[in-house]
Amino acid sequence: MAGAVLTQNTAWTNVEKAITNLKAQHHLDAARIAATPPETLAEWLKPSGYFNIKARRLRNFCVWYVAQGELKSLSKLDTTTLRHALLSVNGIGPETADDILLYAFHRPVFVIDAYTRRLFSRLGLVRGDEGYEALRHTFETALSGAKSHPVAVVRLFNEYHALIVSHAKNVCRKRPLCAGCCLAHVCPSGDTWCAPNSTLQ
């Protein structure tokens, strides 16, 4: 959950460094983070970037999380109620809330991030400028049809999102490596990006 907050606008490798700092200070714990002064927390979170903002957001979340009874109590809420509750926390937006729901609470909620928009807009399957909720609904509807059991849906969403992130980070980058792309044969953007005289290369 801390990682979901800290990964806003930065690479996961930077988040790992910040989490390592929290562990070194014996503060990778909601109650301890909630009791830590923001300026102290910011020092530990420097590797994650925007550390003053993230210190406030992470502390806000942890104060709320502890007050709500933490994982044991929050796990009793249905997904819609829990999502609304997460979104009520200052600094928790839809993507962060859905990250927490999928990966921490194992709920069938699909995460829409910049990687998803980039990959699927290049594939011509979405425009890329759709609202978050509309795009999330599109993915959940399309993928849920393949599985019916909630546990299976969660596993599918988890794996599918992880594959999108992996492909977008390693191949379909901002400047894509089309020659090594397993989707090149179905990607209409490949000709634009990888043409020999392309000004986009």
For residue 100, give the DSSP letter: I
Round the average pLDDT of the chain to a whole number and report it.
92
User: What is the reported pLDDT for 2?
Assistant: 97
Report pLDDT digits (tens) over 133-182. 999 999 999 998 766 788 999 999 999 999 999 999 999 999 999 998 99
**Cα(7)–Cα(165) distance, integer angstroms:** 13
Residues of the chain short of pLDDT 70, as ranges, are 146-147, 191-201
The pLDDT, as a whole number, for residue 199 is 45
| Chain centre to alpha carbon of residue 122 | 20
What pLDDT is attached to residue 195?
Answer: 57
The pLDDT, as a whole number, for residue 197 is 46
Long-range (24+ apart) CB contacts under 8 A made by 21-30 are: 21/45, 21/46, 21/47, 28/2, 30/62, 30/65, 30/66, 30/70
Q: Considering Cα of 147, then 83, then 1, then 52, what sign does the dihedral take?
A: positive
Beta strand segments in the chain, E: none
Taken in order of first residue, the domains within the chain and their CATH numbers are 2-104 (1.10.340.30), 114-194 (1.10.1670.10)
The pLDDT of residue 201: 39
| Residue indicated by tokens 């910049």 | 114
